[in-house]
Structure 1
Amino acid sequence: MTTAATRSERQISPIFLGLVAIMAVSGWAVWTDFSTSTGFAVFLFVVSGWVVSLCLHEYAHARTALHGGDISIGAKGYLTLNPLKYTHALLSIVLPVIFVILGGIGLPGGAVFIERGRIRGRWKHSLISAAGPLTNVLFAIALMLPFTLGVITLDRTNAPFASALAFLAMLQVTAAILNLLPVPGLDGYGVIEPWLSYRTRRQLEPFGQFGLLAVFGVLWIPEVNAAFFGFIDSVTAAFGIPDGLSGLGYAFFQFWKGDPLS
Structure 2
Amino acid sequence: MFGFGPEMIYGIPGLIIALTVHEYAHARAAVYCGDFTPRLQGRLTLNPIAHIDPWGLIALFLFKFGWARPVMINPRNFRNMRRDDILVSLAGPASNIVAAFVAGIVLALLYKFGYMEQWLTQVLLMVMIYNVNFAVFNMLPIPPLDGSRILMNILPYELARQYAQIERYSMVILVVFLLLANTRMLGNFLSLFTIPIMNLIRFVMALLIQI
TM-score normalised by structure 1 residue count: 0.61
Larger Rg: 1
The secondary structure found in structure 1 opposite 2:202 is: coil
CA contact (8 A) 2:90 2:150 kept: yes
Distance 1:49 1:238 in 2: 19
- Quick check: 1:215 aligned with 2:174? no
- For the pair 1:97 / 2:62, whether they are aligned, the reply is no
The structure-2 alpha-carbon separation of the partners of 1:219 and 1:50, relative to structure 1 and needing over 3 Å to count, comes to closer
> What is the rounded CA distance, in whole Å, between the counterparts of 1:151 and 1:81 in structure 2?
24
Give the equivalent residue in structure 2 for 1:200: 162
For residues 130 and 59 of structure 2, what CA distance do their matches in structure 1 show? 10
User: Residues 61, 144 of structure 1: CA spacing in aligned structure 2 closer, same or farther, 3 A cutoff?
Assistant: same
Within 5 A, what are the aligned runs for 1:62-211?
Answer: 62-86=27-51, 92-103=52-63, 105=64, 107-109=66-68, 111-119=70-78, 120-147=80-107, 149=108, 151-152=110-111, 158-196=117-155, 197=157, 199-211=161-173
Of stretches 164-173 and 129-138 in structure 1, the one that deviates more from structure 2 is: 164-173
Paired letter, 1:152: Y
Q: Identity, % of aligned pairs? A: 24
After TM superposition, the structure 1 stretch with the greater mean CA deviation from structure 2, 66-75 or 136-145, is: 66-75
After superposition, what is the alpha-carbon deviation per residue over 1:170-204, rounded to whole angstroms, capped at 9, x for unaligned?
11110000001111100111112223335314422
Aligned pair count reads 193
Matched residue SS, 2:83: helix
Kindly indicate whether the alpha-carbon contact (under 8 Å) linking 1:109 and 1:212 is maintained by their aligned counterparts in 2.
no
Question: TM-score by structure 2 length?
Answer: 0.73
Match of 2:202? 240
| Unaligned stretches of 5+ residues in structure 2 | 204-211
Residue type of the partner of 2:45?
A: T
Structure 1 segments (4+ residues) deviating >4 Å: 82-86
> Relative to structure 1, is the Cα distance of residues 234 and 71 closer, same or farther in structure 2, using a 3 angstrom cutoff?
closer
- In terms of fraction of residues, the more helix-rich structure is 2
Give the C-alpha shift of residue 72 in structure 1.
3.0
2-structure distance, mates of 1:202, 1:106: 23
